[in-house]
Amino acid sequence: MTQPGRSAPVLELERVTLELGDRTILRDTGFVVNQGEFIGVLGPNGAGKTTLMRAVLGLVPAAQGAIRVLGQPVERGNSSIGYMPQTRSALAGRRVRGRDFVAMAADGHRWGLPHADAATRADVERVLDLVGGRKLAERPLSELSGGERQRLLLAQCLLGNPKLLLLDEPLISLDPHHQKSVVELVRRVQQELGIAVLFSAHELNPLLHALDRVLYLGSGVAALGTVDEVITRPVLSRLYGSPIDVMRVNGRIFVMSGDVEVEKHDHEHEHDEHGGHSHSHSHSHSHSHSHGHAHGHSDQHDSRDGHKHDV
């Protein structure tokens, strides 16, 4: 599917099957993401958005098929990928200064201030500039709003000049105003750098004006295309495994099952990072990333359980 004269696609899946335990998350799926595309990754809770990103990072091996990033088979620690994992709530309590937090991701220090070399320091300033975060970076994380922390998390993902960003639910727990600014920021940076972004979300509407194409997951299958191609009654009915209606009202799109709005309904229980829901302690063992070094290219923030509640 590569066009003549162009470099390899950023991401290719070829007949990929992903399994977790005895569950098939994705079955015999293929698609291609090109350079410079902003892809909104949607689908009901549990559809496999996080699993797909982890597979692209090489953290979940494909049971069958091939995943390629920039023409190469997936590998752990691929520096051409920047990753923002879904679970981030522990950051809110950290006193670490924003700039040091970003720098930690650059050289992977777990604790203490990193002794970065000149190139790393320059890269930190570059990514802070990209996200308009230099001033924010003077303050400790604990004094920043959720939207401001997202800015620094995005800066971390941009260290080392990745060509593909995997942003797992960056809008979760943000109010609509901050959601809008995060989407606009990601879109601006993505276009400025000409990189590809996979941006997962519960809801399509906040992404509508930013995305180039939608990757919609459900029932073990995936549909990639424009909004008009994918957000349709036949495609979504297949993905949800039940009859779905699509309603367009004032430039917004509502995905309905009977009189229930499925995207909303599905995620009603998982909003707000500061509480409302008690976080089950059975999850806490997996929060190896809770020290805040959520740098883009490693599996140290590998957290699978817990992400449904600990947002």
Ligand X SMILES: Nc1ncnc2c1ncn2[C@@H]1O[C@H](COP(=O)(O)OP(=O)(O)O)[C@@H](O)[C@H]1O
User: Residues interacting with Mg ion, by CB under 5 A?
Assistant: 49-50, 86
* Least distance to ligand X, CB of residue 12, Å: 20
Phi-psi region of 59 (alpha: psi -120 to 50; beta: other; left: phi over 0): alpha
Instruction: Quote the CA–CA distance of 111 and 188 in Å, as a whole number.
Output: 32
Q: Give me the count of residues in the chain.
A: 311
Give whichever of 120 and 219 is closer to ligand X, judged by the CB atom.
219
Indicate which single residue of 10, 31, 37, 51 sits in contact with ligand X (rule: CB under 6 A): 51
Smaller CB separation from ligand X, 27 or 304: 304
Task: Kindly list the distances between the CA atom of residue 276 and the CA atoms of 200, 201, 309, in Å, as whole numbers in the listed order.
Answer: 23, 20, 10
Looking at beta carbons, which residue is closest to Mg ion? 50
Q: What does 15 bind: Mg ion, ligand X, none (CB cut-off 5 to 8 Å by kind)?
A: none
Please report how close the Cβ of residue 247 comes to Mg ion at its closest, in angstroms: 25
Q: Which does 45 bind (CB under 5 to 8 A by kind): ligand X, Mg ion, none?
A: ligand X
Q: Which of 17, 24, 35, 45 binds ligand X (CB under 6 A)?
A: 45
Q: How far is the CB of 169 from ligand X (least distance, A)?
A: 8
Vertex 117: Cα angle to 127 and 86 (nearest 5): 40
Q: Which does 47 bind (CB under 5 to 8 A by kind): ligand X, Mg ion, none?
A: ligand X
CB-CB contact of 81 with 166 (8 Å): yes
- Cβ-proximal residues to 228 (8 Å cutoff; 6+ apart), any chain: none
Whether 69 contacts 162, CB under 8 Å? no
Do the beta carbons of residue 95 and residue 135 sit within 8 Å? no
> Per CB under 6 A, does 49 bind ligand X?
yes
Query: Toward ligand X, which CB reaches closer, 48 or 170?
Result: 48
| Closest to 305 in 3D by CA, of 271, 282, 272, 276 | 282
Residue 247 binds: one of ligand X, Mg ion, none (C-beta under 5 to 8 A by kind):
none
SS3 for 184?
helix
Q: How many residues bind ligand X (CB under 6 A)?
A: 13
| Site for ligand X contains 244 (CB under 6 A) | no
Please give the Cα distance from 141 to 174 (Å, whole number): 16
Q: Considering the complex, what minimum distance in angstroms separates the CB of residue 168 from Mg ion? A: 6
Per CB under 6 A, 264 contacts ligand X: no
What is the residue type of 222? A
Interaction partner, residue 179 (Mg ion, ligand X, none; CB < 5-8 Å by kind):
none
Residues 48-86 as b/e (b if ≥16 CB within 10 A, e otherwise) read bbbbbbbbbbbbbebeebebbbbeeebeeebeebbbbbb
The nearer residue to ligand X, 164 or 189, going by C-beta atoms, is 164
Least distance (Å) between residue 73 CB and ligand X: 21
Per CB under 6 A, contacts with ligand X among 14-43 are: 20-21, 23, 25, 43
Q: Which residues, in sequence order, are bridge partners of residue 166?
A: 83, 198
> Which residues contact ligand X (rule: CB under 6 A)?
20-21, 23, 25, 43, 45-51, 304
